[in-house]
Amino acid sequence: MSTDTVAPNLDSGVALLRRLALDLRWSWSHATDALWSALEPELWELTHNPWVLLRTVSHQRLTQILGDPKFRADLERLASDSRADAQASSWFQQTHPDARLAQVAYFSMEFMLSEALPIYAGGLGNVAGDQLKASSDLGVPLVGIGLLYSQGYFRQVIGPDGAQEALFPYNDPGQLPITPLRTPDGEWLRLQVPMPGHSLWLRTWQVKVGRLQLYLLDSNDVANYPTHRGITSELYGGGPELRLQQEIVLGLGGWRLLDALNQRPEVCHLNEGHAALAILDRARTFMETTGTAFDAALVATRAGNIFTTHTAVPAGFDRFDPALVERYLAHYAADSLHIPLRQLLALGRADAGNEAEAFNMAYLAVRGCAAVNGVSRLHGEISRRIFQPLFPRRPTIEVPIGHVTNGIHTPSWDSPAADSLWTTHCGKDRWLGSLGSVGASIRDAADSAIWQCRTAARKSLVDYARRRLSAQLAASGGPPEEIDGAKHLFDPEVLTVGFARRFATYKRPNLLLNDPERLARLLTNPERPMQLILAGKAHPADAPGQALIRDWVRFVRRPDVRPHAIFLSDYDMLMTERLVEGVDVWINTPRRPWEACGTSGMKVLVNGGLNLSELDGWWAEAYTPSVGWALGDGCEHEEDPARDAIEASQLYDLLEHQIVPEFYARDDNNMPRSWAARVRESMACLTPLYSANRSVREYVERFYLPAAAAYLRRAENGGALGAEISASLRAIQCGWTTLRFGSVDVDTRGDRHHFIAEVELGALAPPSVRVELYADPLGGDQPFRQEMTRLGRPDARGMDLYVASVPAARASTDYTARILPAHPGVSVPLEASQVLWQR
């Protein structure tokens, strides 16, 4: 019986249960776990979804358990604690009490918050979900915008031949911890978004995530045509047209939802280019509010827009045929933005004049944002290469893309044993502040405490793997002896390695399987054995990825390997939690540099797991010999089976000659001192650094606060500054072709080079340009840039003279004069990419 039916017959206890169940803070605080387990232990173990429990449990059971004085006291205490936590002062309020930042709108195609809300596929959703949770912990005023998928991502079954089968269960909104978003008079808030020849109705939902709200949109409204009701049916399904429809819902619909709620965020953060259309609708709203034209509105609002790219290859960006964009957005451009379609299309093209070029959502995001970042240091470098076409004639190092390395929400991924260890040494509120002493404090943990934590976590993982594999075999009709045997597999004292990830060829999940016989010998060594747990999915349309899964399933089913290796099917968030809590070594083998960041290996850090990974993504900047092990040579290689074989051999060598011996090297007390020391160093050095606490604080201080201030300056007085900047940028663009260099002379005297350059400014005024000397970087340094000084008025020929003096430590030929746009408060080259080099 549903709680909606029984609520009138029960006391306020049901209201308290509902409030706790609808706040996804339970997914990481775990304070209420015992409460839900007491209510319905079997269903809680299967679902970890308190809302399902309340929607399923009987009137009789609710009456019974709410009559238990201890349960009722615990419930009221937890509800009181939840209210107090929500009202408590947080890091943001304490550190930035005078910040002019009231709200950040965070757009993402997917959010991984809990298995109870399956609207995610992988890494992108992982980052989005963990950033929402960490923002809640830190009190950052942020709201999430996403889509509610009828099916979400697919579920996986492994057939008798090892083949992956994809299933698409229905996401029943009544079974999800979400509620309809309602207007003040109680009506369900529904939005209209323009589509070709009709309007699309969108239903709206809200999800409470601690202090924050996540708003979700879905198209399954009865007022829509049947085909349009399916726009939000499936995450990453269908073809280009469905993808464009979904991105219209996310970008245009998402911004209109904020508008309908009278929310005016200063900052709009796009988690990938899927939501780039929000840039246009934010400008539209500004146009309607201030009466400004589109160009000025875009200049004003882009100051508050931030774009995070996660893509490591150009092919990963969403590109749409111009005819498809015309079909869906031509009327929007004309009627809402009051611009011709070609102007809209130009925002998504490298060459605005090439009418055949596809419309690239990532290009639109770059052209509509004031800051762009990759998700690791290496990915920032890769992204500068990828976006080079938008900044022609600029050195790659000057492409305006930085990086904020991802982090994971540590409270969501720590085991009970790890939580206890961290609490003992760092306190319960350790992840709620600036983390200043966390690393130093965990270093005080004794070897015995660290090893006890690891032993408990490994035992918990082995118990889970046995139960899961046994159930998996039973569901697939396995023989009774195999089902029973699965309950006794593995040894909680044995070195346990593993991984769980999307099976894609660039991730090379089969690198460890390159030499099956050598791997089998490592697993079955009678004196120093190793056991392997792995899981993963391949996209239903990815045949090569599915073939990799079949290879692994066949290997683990070998009679000699079966006692030592497990492939767990239906990889999901709950399974990931258990694996990262218990494995001793997490293996990650992508082909560099295709892993933009990767976060799976970060999750083991808080639990004392160690990483053995390719020098790619986050590990390329995190690795030192004292905290784990590295694969590869730190260089980029093309797809090459010979290179794969070299790195596979390196992988086996590390396991056989370093990792296995170190794990089993024990003192007289059976304590692996060297292993414990490595675990301690990994926990102390890496866990704080690769936490979402750090990454969110970095976004706040490097991006959100400056972006909010810049937007408010450009928006005040009806967008006067935005209009002024827009006019200046337009004048620079029109006058740029009238610029030219005359002679550039150099005179070397002593230890200085003295340059004098003739410049014809043409139609541009001197304040509109910056003339400077440029020299390529030496080694890992930044380029040399020094502004040249203008000497008085133009000469008789109309040429302006610019001079500069630089050290003669480098040859004068290393230096080149160039001209750049200049305007106070304008980001060059992001907002003005022109450059004229001395010939």
Alpha helices in 606-656 (DSSP H): 619-622, 641-654
CA-closest candidate to residue 663, choices 560, 525, 465, 460? 525
Q: Is the distance from CB of 334 to CB of 340 less than 8 angstroms?
A: yes
CATH 3.40.50.2000 boundaries in the chain: 100-150+179-406+702-714, 410-426+445-690
Tokens of 664: 């089993």
Question: End-to-end alpha-carbon separation of the chain, Å?
Answer: 80
pLDDT of 10: 57
Q: Is the distance from CB of 582 to CB of 462 less than 8 angstroms?
A: yes
Please report the sign of the dihedral spanned by the C-alpha atoms of residue 817, residue 818, residue 822, residue 827.
negative
Q: Which residues pair with 532 in a beta bridge?
A: 497, 565
- In the chain, which stretches have pLDDT less than 70? 1-10
Cα 511 to Cα 110, 504, 590, 650: the distances in Å are 29, 12, 9, 10
* SS3 state of residue 828: coil
Distance CA 708, CA 141 (A): 12
Pick the CATH number of 100-150+179-406+702-714 from 3.30.420.40, 1.20.120.1770, 3.30.230.10, 3.40.50.2000: 3.40.50.2000
User: What would the DSSP string read from start to end of 331-381?
Assistant: HHIIIII-S-HHHHHHTT-SSTT-TTSPEEHHHHHHHT-SEEEESSHHHHH
Q: Give the 3-state secondary structure of 134-181.
A: HHHHHCCCEEEEEECCCCCCCEEEECCCCCEEEECCCCCHHHCCCEEC
Q: Is the distance from CB of 553 to CB of 567 less than 8 angstroms?
A: yes
Q: Is the distance from CB of 280 to CB of 305 less than 8 angstroms?
A: no
Cα-Cα-Cα-Cα torsion 159, 162, 163, 169, nearest 10 degrees, comes to 40
Q: Is the distance from CB of 273 to CB of 317 less than 8 angstroms?
A: yes
Residue 767 DSSP class: G
The HSE-up count of residue 662 (CA atoms within 13 Å, CB side) is: 18
Strands (E), 189-315: 190-195, 198-209, 212-218, 267-271, 305-308
Distance CA 520, CA 683 (A): 31
pLDDT of 309: 98
- Give the rounded distance of the alpha carbon of 303 from its chain centre: 22
240-248 and 322-332 helices, crossing angle to 10°:
30
Tokens of 308: 């995070």
- pLDDT tens readout for residues 564-599: 999 999 998 989 999 999 999 999 999 999 999 999
Residues 6+ apart with CB under 8 A from 25: 82, 85, 136, 208, 209, 210
User: CB 669: neighbour CB atoms within 10 A?
Assistant: 9
- pLDDT tens readout for residues 480-490: 988 898 999 99
Cα 118 to Cα 56, 111, 216, 233, 574: the distances in Å are 19, 8, 13, 13, 11
Q: Is the distance from CB of 460 to CB of 582 less than 8 angstroms?
A: yes
- pLDDT tens readout for residues 256-295: 999 999 999 999 999 999 999 999 999 999 999 999 999 9
Q: Is the peptide bond before 392 cis (omega within 30 degrees of 0)?
A: no
Could you tell me which CATH class the domain 410-426+445-690 is placed in?
alpha beta
pLDDT of 630: 98
Answer yes or no: pTM beyond 0.85: yes
Rg, the chain, Cα only: 29
User: CB 797: neighbour CB atoms within 10 A?
Assistant: 8
Residue 515 DSSP class: S
CATH 2.60.40.10 boundaries in the chain: 739-837
Q: What is the CATH number of domain 739-837?
A: 2.60.40.10
Distance CA 770, CA 790 (A): 10
Decide: residue 109, CB within 10 A, 0-12 exposed, 13-18 middle, 19+ buried: buried
